[in-house]
Amino acid sequence: MNNILTWDDFMKVEMRAGTIISAEVFKEARNPAYKIVIDFGEYGTRKTSAQITKLYEPDTLIGKQVIAVVNFPPKQIATLMSECLVLGVIGNDKEVTLLQPERGVENGARIG
């Protein structure tokens, strides 16, 4: 490991818990993806695109809590302005397993 971070570096990455309130197929995306809206409580709702189609269906995502980075600058992805980055673990077959709190937490809670 040659990319050692300091605690201050880590704290610059603002990861928060949120609940998915809508998910739909993102037809305009180059790679298979979903358009997702996440409720971060007092931090509001944010839209994003997630390439998680191998393990999840849109209707099963609604109500799931996830972890996302919320302080990246917005990024245009096809027709969507992505406002956060949902975190997941990439498996051997490029499938993504979402990172989720072990139990329900307050939307907007900071990871750290």
Series of mean pLDDT values for 10-residue runs along the chain (112 residues):
86 96 97 97 97 96 98 96 97 94 97 88
List the Cα angle 91/92/96 in 5-degree steps. Answer: 25
Q: Span 8-98: which CATH code?
A: 2.40.50.140
pLDDT of 100 reads: 96
List the Cα angle 4/14/37 in 5-degree steps. Answer: 135
Within 8 A by CB and 6+ apart from 86, the residues are 36, 38, 48, 50, 52, 66, 67, 68, 98
Beta bridge partners of 6: none
pLDDT of 58 reads: 97
Domain ranges across the chain: 8-98
pLDDT of 2 reads: 75
CA dihedral for 20, 23, 28, 32, sign (positive or negative): positive
CA dihedral 23, 24, 27, 33 (to 10 degrees): 40
pLDDT of 111 reads: 94
pLDDT of 1 reads: 61
